[in-house]
Amino acid sequence: MTKKRVYLITGFMCDERIWSRVETLLQDSYEFIYIPIPNENSFEKIVKKIHIDDENINLIGFSLGGYIASYYALKNYLKINKVLVISSTLCSLNDDEIRQREFALKLVKEYGFSILNDKKIKTLIENKNDNSLIALIKDMYKNNGKEKFINLLQATTYRKDLSNMLQKSNTDFNFLYSEDDILLDKNWIDTIKENTNFLFESIPSDTHMIPLEKADYLKDYISRIIN
């Protein structure tokens, strides 16, 4: 049986391990190709560095990778089959988020790079007592390092809202997210739902880390959408 090829773009300060659980569940049916986020300081530069030599591309992006995957798909729509956006809303950041990121950037430049603490990580996951998951998130963050952190912050803080481009697009976009994910803009989701025919599906959870905590659900979702 020929495996369906799927390209994966990960999230902020993550690596290919974010996909490890769902890849294991689907390895007999899909060929997964991991695309690391290019170490650039603007979205335009990031997208220009992504080269997918394929047609009818199936593209999955998690969190920041969801925005990058969507931006790539909108610019290369003739090559795209389906886009799956996981735990991501494709809009600009609000003023509070921008100030927080600018402050974080200033701290790193002045005092050095430090990994996420447990308290912050627990806001992103459903199982607050999963120490192995917390350790994995910390290790991915650490392995990406200071330079990647600075570049990604600079590239992603002043991002544009993709709503207008999405509403004009005929590309097959699909959105999967947790109902109570604190990182998502629910108003943006409601607006896009009203103005497009894209498929939106929510999970009764507060986890942002769907590929790691809801791998069984994501497995079924991918199997339904990319069949």
The rounded distance, in Å, linking the Cα atoms of 70 and 85 is: 8
pLDDT tops 90 at residue 201: yes
Tokens of 48: 């220009």
For 55-114, write each residue's pLDDT tens digit: 999 999 999 999 999 999 999 999 999 999 999 999 999 899 899 989 988 989 888 888
The answer to whether the predicted template modeling score (pTM) of the entire model surpasses 0.85 is yes
Which amino acid belongs to residue 207? T
The mean pLDDT of the chain is: 94
Identify the pLDDT of residue 218.
98
Q: Which of 67-76, 149-158, 183-192 has the lowest mean pLDDT?
A: 149-158
Q: Side by side, which strands form the sheet with 199-203?
A: 30-35, 4-9, 57-62, 80-86, 172-178, 199-203
In 3D space, the residue among 121, 129, 98, 99 whose CA is nearest the CA of residue 14 turns out to be 121
Stretch 10-16: mean pLDDT, rounded?
A: 94
pLDDT tops 70 at residue 1: no
How much of the chain exceeds pLDDT 70, in percent? 100
CA torsion, ordered 72, 115, 182, 10, to nearest 10 deg: 20
* Secondary structure of residue 73 in the 3-state scheme: helix
What confidence category does residue 44 fall into, taking pLDDT thresholds of 50, 70 and 90? confident
Tokens of 145: 């390092």
pLDDT tops 70 at residue 152: yes
